[in-house]
Structure formats: structure tokens, C-alpha cells
Amino acid sequence: MLTVDDVYKSYGDVEAVRGVSLSLAPGEILGLLGPNGAGKSTLLGMISGLLAPDRGTIELPGAGDPRDPQARRSLGLAPQSLSLYEELTAEENLRFLGTLYGFSGRQLAGRVEYCLELAGLEARKRDRVTTFSGGMKRRLNLACALIHDPPLLLLDEPTVGVDPQTRAHLFDQIERLRDNGKGVIYATHYMEEASRLCRRVAIVDHGRLLALDRVQDLIERYGGQSSVRIVLKQQPPPSLSLPGTWQDGIVSWETDTPLDDLVRLAGGGLEWEEVAIRGPDLETVFLKLTGRSLRDDTEQPAAHGAGG
Amino acid sequence: MIRVWRTATTLATKDLRLLMRDRLALFFVVGIPILYGLFFGAISGAFQSGDASLAIAIVDEDQSPWSKRFVEILKKEPEKNEWRTSMTRREALDACRRGDLVAAIVLPRGFGENAGIFFQEAPTLLVAVDPSRNAEKGLVTGILMQAMGKLAADRLRDQTSMKQSLDESIRRLQSDTSMSLPSRLALIAALKSFRNFFDQLQQTSDENQTEQGPDFEFVHIEQLEIARREKTDALGSPLSNVQTAWDISFPQATIWGILGCATTFAVSLVRERRQGSLLRLQVAPLRPPTIVAGKALACFVSVVAVITMMLVLGMALGMRPRRPLLLIPAMLATAFCFTGIMACIATIGKSEESVSGAAWGANIVMAMFGGGMIPLAFLPSWMQGIGYVDPVRWAILILEGAIWREFTWGEAAVPLAVLSSVGIVALALGGTILRRKL
């Protein structure tokens, strides 16, 4: 459907994207994970035809090079920053964009109605966008990307600044689109969103594609061991061998078998006030691959694991 | 091509709708030119109709019949001036110093004795003018000279008084030993011949049973009509109407509307970039020239609308275009020219502030050198020379050509060609830069 083959993009001496390759199948949501400045926006810019790659090729579903305006009919973009005409109504925004894509008459009215329903804005369709809440604007921003019913959707941080209710609504709609056969590239730095929505995830940092695989496979491959942390009630029996470090009444360690370890310790007479087990997830995958937390806006020293 | 046109129309419609909903922008596009037109129209109308009044005090310290007559003449010239005659010299000078009066005129003692008699020593008039109102100084002097001319005419008509004055002069000359005898004899002879002239004049007047003396004026000034009048119809076509103040002020006001329009649309492109909506247009199946064309079309339509609105308003106030057909190409060429300039200005900056600043900076310079701010006639010649490369000058000229200068198609060709050429070059330049930026 979409293929990105070994693309490069530089701004002066800065290499924003370095040899990224990926593909997307219909009905698939591909997560694009990376911190600010990782190269996600540049990659999306090239896929949407806004930027020309210095090297490599991009093929849109059944349409070819996204630099060709007609090829861009096959993609819809919901940018991170809201791209709406605030002095127009929701309906006028959709009508305007629909007309640009060549719709008219009943066909246009049908698409507008569909998008308003998808965004849950039928009751507010004649209100100016400037009167909308942040969540409503986000929903309309997504709806605008769908007005021409494209097979490929590029969603760049679509849930930034929205309340949990709107986030849930957006997730439902994105899953509905996926079920209808749309291919979605979902750029985010929220691990839980990527985990919930995406079958596969691409992890990008410093312009490089560090990993691309199914979420579970990534976790298995890069997630490492579970970490366990217990707060002791009393000093451990001298005969008991502790699996990790013990300091100030707290014992922490990493293991592939956290429950087995806890059963053994309890059997040995260890009593604790609190226990926390954290299994490997995308966050740990990301930390392992890049050496920094995904939500860090600035470079931070690696806590542990490999450097990015 | 049809698709491009349809898309450009869609983009333009959206921009016009946004303009209609932005009250501040709408005010700049519509309100400012109307205010400008009304303001300058009122000013030039006031000057044209003599509404501009001057507050002047006249202090008659002589209180003679001829000084009183002089005050009467002054009060009628021109009637709209505000004459104050009950002040003392001190009060008048203080009022002038405070700025309450433009000038104070003092007729000192003895003024009436010789005033208006050309063969006597000239009377003295004392005049004080507010130093900050130097422009009116010449006007006051002119009023005084005109009044003195009328007083002299009145003197000539009053033959009895004139003969008494001549007799008195002759008597004084006869007893004046300070002058050489030949000079005295020559002057006495001249005055006696005047005395005889007035005797004969009296006799003629008696025979004709009229008391009027000779009626004359120093010079008779007639206004030459520069507008063409060969095409008036039998009913007195509106095209032959005399120009009004609005004829002069509305082309200038229209220019401000056009500049406001162009600036609004120049800024709108950067605004689209800031609010992210430009991204949607770029991702849509549009080529950059189509986006530029959409913006340009919206600007063009708005400029034409502003010109039309100003014309309708001007006509409601009495303006009568003498070449209505010429208005059509004038409007189109002007709109096209400033649409092109808008496209250029839109590419200059990256923020609304920078584009707006650049646009208004350019507007003010263009208006300054092109006669949009101050009539060209008041500018030094080198500035007028710069005006030849200023589209504002050509836009005002072609609008005036259609409204009151009665341009022939041949005369209109030059400004139309200049405006169209500037439009083509600017649009191409702006479009090229914009294509690269998009």
C-alpha cells in the first residue's frame, strides 16, 4: 500500500532522516514513535509530499510519488497543530476542503455528513470553530483529513491536549477506520496509545529507524526483564539470599520470573509492606534502544541499556 | 484549466468569507477609504466653495466715514470670514497671540483721509498675523488689497468728496515751498485737469439723471474650463456636470481602500501558514500556482468591490464620472496591478507582523510619491519624478481620467498599460517566490 524505501533528508549539515524504509498494509495502524526532533515530522512531510527526499523513494497507495498533486488524493493528513479556519463553521471547513478535492452536490453533502458524524459534531456543524473546545477542534481536525475518503491516513499526535473522553472517542474512530481498511500512520510519543492502537511500531531517533516490528515482538526482543521492587517490613532473615540490591529497606531486581522469585522470598520468611512489578513495555523498549525516555524533550543521560 | 479556475474560485470564496467575518480587516478595507474620502472631500469641498473661514479682527481707530466704509467692504470680502469689529487694538493683538484669531487689522487715525485716493500719500494699515498661520498671511493681504481696490472705486464714484480732496491738494501744493516750482506747477496742472474731469463727469451724470460714477475693476478674472464638453446632450447630460470635491478626493480614497485590501490579502497568506491551514492546501491535490491564483483572485475581487463601492458612494454624494466606460478597464487594471503587488509583498516576510509592516511601509511610500497622501502638485519636482514609477500615481490618474479628466482612450492607454505591466511583473515575481516557498 505505502512503501518508503531508504529515504534521506538533510537540512544543511543536519541529517533529519537517514535511510528509513517501511511499508504499510491496508487496515493496518503503524505507530511512529520518537521524541521531538527524532525525524518523525520530516518523515511525515516526505510521505505527504510536502518535502522531497534527498534520496530514496516513496510510493503512495496506487498513486505513486506524493510530490504529484494527484497522487496526494490517496492520503489524508491530520497535522499535530490544528489546521482549521477558525472563523468558518465546522460544516464550511469540511465543504471547502471537499470542494478542493473535487466533490460537489450530493456527494459532497454525503461526505460532509459522514465526517461530522465521525467527529460527533452534527449538532454544532453551523457553529464557528472558534467557539469549539480543544477536543472538538481535534475531532474536526481528524475529520478534515477524511473528507475525501483517502486509503491512507497520516495522524501526527492526534490526541495532544485532549481530555480522556475525547481521546477515547478518537481511538474508537481510528479503530473504526482501520476496520474499514484504511492504512494509518500514527505518530505519537504516548506509549499506551501506540500499544493500544498499533499492530506494528516503528521507533525513530536521530533520523534513524531503530526498530520496526509488532509491539509484542519488540517487547520480547528489546523489553528485557521485569523489574521488581519491594519495601520490607523488617530486616530479612540472615539465611535468605536476596535476588537484588538491598538499601534503606528496599530491595529491587530484574528477572524473567518475578512471581516465582516472590513466592521463594515469602517462603523464606520475608515480609514486605509493598511490592511493585513492572513488566517490559514499549517504554522499556524505547529506553533500551535509544537510551532515553520517550517523553524527554531534551537529551538526558541513559538510565541503563544501550545508547541510541 | 476549468478545474484550476474552479479551485481558484473555491479558494477565493473561502478568503472572501473569512474577510467578511473579520470585522477589523473589513473596517480597514471598507471603512477607512470611506472615512478618507469623506474627510478629504469635505476639506477640498470647503476650499472649493469658500467655506474655509478666517477669524480676523478689525480695529477702526480712525472712525472716519472712509475707514468705516473700508470696514464694511472688508466684512463682505469674503462674507464667510468671521470679522470681529468690537475689539481694541490690545484685545485684538492678545487674541491673535492666543491663536483665537488668524489676524488683526488696525486702521490707525488718519487712515480715512487718504485711503483710496491714488494721488495722495498711501494710507497706513497695521496688520498682525498669527505666526503659526503663515499660509493664511497671503490670503489676508489679498483680502486687504481687494478691499482697498473697492474703496478706491467708491472714492472715484463719490465726485463731491473727490473734488474737495483735489481742491485741498491743490491748495496745499500752492503753499508748499519745499518742492521746486516746476514740479509744483506740473502737479497743480495735473490735479486741475482731474478737477475738470470730475466737473464734466458730474455734468454728464446730471444729464443722464444718474448719480453713479464710473464703475470699474482692476482686472476681471474668468475661470477657464479644462474638461471637455463637446459631448453634452440636449437635456444637460450628467456627464457635463461641473466637478465636485468628491471627484478629487474619491480616487485618492479609493487608493487607500485598494492598499488596505492588498495588505489584508498579503497578510492572509502568512496567517494561513501560522494557523496551519496552508498545510492542508499544500497536501491537497493543488499545484502551488493554483493556491497563488486563489489568493490573487480573492484580492482582485475585493479590490474591484472596493472601487465599485467607492464609486457608488461618490455618486451618491454628487460625483458624476464623465467617462463611465473607461471606469471598467481602469478598475480592472488597477485591481490587477495591486493584486500583483500583494502577491509580491506576501512573500517578503514569515510572520503576520513582518508582512503587515512591510506592506504598510510600502503602501505609505507609494501613497506619498504617488499622490495618494498629498496631491502631486504640492510635492517637489524630484518627488514628482519618482511618482512616474509609482503605481499609485497611475491608478489615481486613470481613475481621475474616467471621473473628471475625461481621458480619451488614447490618453488612457499609457496608465492602463503601466498598471497592467506592473501587475504582470509583480504577479509573476510573487508567484515564483511563493512557489519556491511552498
Residue B44: per-residue pLDDT: 58
Of B21, B22, B285, the CB nearest to A101: B285
Structure confidence at residue B276 as a pLDDT band (50, 70, 90): confident
Residue A8: per-residue pLDDT: 96
Chain B hits for A128, CB-CB cut-off 8 Å, are 21
Nearest Cα of chain B lies from the Cα of A218 at a distance, in angstroms, of 33
Closest residue on chain B to A128 (Cα)? B21
Give the contacts of B49 (CB within 8 A, at least 6 positions apart). B245
Domain segments of chain A as ranges: 2-220, 225-278
Domain A2-220: which topology?
Rossmann fold (3.40.50)
Residue B217: per-residue pLDDT: 56
Chain A hits for B287, CB-CB cut-off 8 Å, are 69
Which parts of chain A sit beneath pLDDT 70? 293-308
Give the contacts of A133 (CB within 8 A, at least 6 positions apart). none
For the record, the C-alpha cell of B99 comes out as: 491663536
Best to test chain A binding among B20, B279, B283, B436 (most A CBs inside 10 Å): B283
Chain B hits for A144, CB-CB cut-off 8 Å, are 280
Nearest Cα of chain A lies from the Cα of B284 at a distance, in angstroms, of 7
In this structure, how many other beta carbons lie within 10 angstroms of the beta carbon of residue B193? 10
Domain segments of chain B as ranges: 2-46+233-437, 53-157, 162-222
CA-nearest of B380, B370, B364 to B418 is B370
Structure confidence at residue B30 as a pLDDT band (50, 70, 90): confident
> Which architecture does CATH list for B53-157?
3-Layer(aba) Sandwich (3.40)
Question: How do residues A198-237 score in pLDDT, each as one tens digit?
Answer: 989 999 999 999 999 998 899 888 888 888 999 988 888 8
For the record, the C-alpha cell of B153 comes out as: 472705486
Overall size of chain B counted in residues: 438
d(CA B408, CA B425): 26
Question: With a CB-CB cutoff of 8 Å, which residues 287-306 of chain B face chain A?
Answer: 287
Residue A108 vs residue B41, higher pLDDT? A108
CA-nearest of A283, A285, A307 to A217 is A285
Contact state of B10 with A82 under an 8 Å Cβ cutoff: no
Contact state of B14 with A88 under an 8 Å Cβ cutoff: yes
Beta bridge partners of A226: A255
- With an 8 Å Cβ cutoff, is B109 touching chain A? no
Chain A hits for B279, CB-CB cut-off 8 Å, are 50, 77, 79, 81, 83
Structure confidence at residue B39 as a pLDDT band (50, 70, 90): confident
Contact of B418 with B273, CB cutoff 8 Å? no
- With an 8 Å Cβ cutoff, is B11 touching chain A? yes
This model of the complex carries an ipTM of 0.81
- With an 8 Å Cβ cutoff, is A72 touching chain B? yes
Q: What share of chain A is helix, strand, coil (3-state, %, to 5)?
A: 35, 30, 35
Residue B77: per-residue pLDDT: 67
How many Cβ pairs within 8 Å bridge chains A and B? 66
- With an 8 Å Cβ cutoff, is B63 touching chain A? no
Nearest Cα of chain B lies from the Cα of A302 at a distance, in angstroms, of 35
Does position B67 have pLDDT exceeding 50, yes or no? yes
Nearest Cα of chain A lies from the Cα of B50 at a distance, in angstroms, of 49
Which residue reads 496551519 in cell numbers? B276
Structure confidence at residue B409 as a pLDDT band (50, 70, 90): very high
Does position B157 have pLDDT exceeding 60, yes or no? yes
Nearest Cα of chain B lies from the Cα of A105 at a distance, in angstroms, of 14
Please, what is the average pLDDT of chain B?
A: 80
Residue A146: per-residue pLDDT: 95
Chain B hits for A102, CB-CB cut-off 8 Å, are 3, 285
CA-nearest of B283, B286, B252, B425 to B344 is B425
Residue A245: per-residue pLDDT: 81
**Which DSSP symbol is given to B408?**
-
- With an 8 Å Cβ cutoff, is A92 touching chain B? yes
Residue B214: per-residue pLDDT: 53
Structure confidence at residue B154 as a pLDDT band (50, 70, 90): confident
Does position B349 have pLDDT exceeding 70, yes or no? yes
Nearest Cα of chain A lies from the Cα of B350 at a distance, in angstroms, of 17
Of A75, A83, A102, the CB nearest to B279: A83
Give the contacts of B416 (CB within 8 A, at least 6 positions apart). B329, B330, B333, B398
Residue B218: per-residue pLDDT: 54
Percent of chain B exceeding pLDDT 90 equals 18
Q: Where are the alpha helices (DSSP H) in A28-89?
A: 40-47
Beta bridge partners of A272: A232
Nearest Cα of chain A lies from the Cα of B7 at a distance, in angstroms, of 6
Nearest Cα of chain A lies from the Cα of B353 at a distance, in angstroms, of 19
- Of A141-145, B38-42, B69-73, B111-115, the one with minimum mean pLDDT is B38-42
Give the contacts of B354 (CB within 8 A, at least 6 positions apart). B270, B348
Give the contacts of B134 (CB within 8 A, at least 6 positions apart). none
Residue A5: per-residue pLDDT: 95
C-alpha torsion A222→A225→A226→A227, nearest 10? -110
Structure confidence at residue B216 as a pLDDT band (50, 70, 90): low
Give the contacts of B95 (CB within 8 A, at least 6 positions apart). B57, B84, B87, B101, B104
Q: Which 3 state secondary structure label does DSSP give A65?
A: coil
- Whole-model pTM: value is 0.70
CA-nearest of A23, A62, A25, A20 to A38 is A20
Closest residue on chain A to B271 (Cα)? A85
For the record, the C-alpha cell of A296 comes out as: 524527554
Question: How do residues B99-134 score in pLDDT, each as one tens digit?
Answer: 788 889 999 998 888 777 766 677 888 898 887 777
- With an 8 Å Cβ cutoff, is A84 touching chain B? yes
d(CA B69, CA B325): 55
- With an 8 Å Cβ cutoff, is B276 touching chain A? yes
Task: Give mean pLDDT, residues B58-84.
Answer: 84
C-alpha torsion B67→B72→B78→B80, nearest 10? 130
d(CA B11, CA B300): 13
CA-nearest of B409, B380, B397, B365 to B248 is B397
d(CA A70, CA A164): 37
- With an 8 Å Cβ cutoff, is B436 touching chain A? no
Helix (H) or strand (E) holding A214: strand A208-214
Q: Please provide residue A15's backbone torsions phi and psi, each rounded to the nearest 5 degrees.
A: -90, 105
CA-nearest of B340, B343, B345, B366 to B357 is B345
Of B11, B275, B286, the CB nearest to A69: B286
Contact of B398 with B328, CB cutoff 8 Å? no
Chain B hits for A50, CB-CB cut-off 8 Å, are 279, 282-283
Chain B hits for A91, CB-CB cut-off 8 Å, are none
Residue B239: per-residue pLDDT: 38
Nearest Cα of chain B lies from the Cα of A22 at a distance, in angstroms, of 21
Contact state of A100 with B282 under an 8 Å Cβ cutoff: no
Question: How do residues B222-268 score in pLDDT, each as one tens digit?
Answer: 545 545 544 433 333 433 443 577 777 778 888 888 888 888 888 88
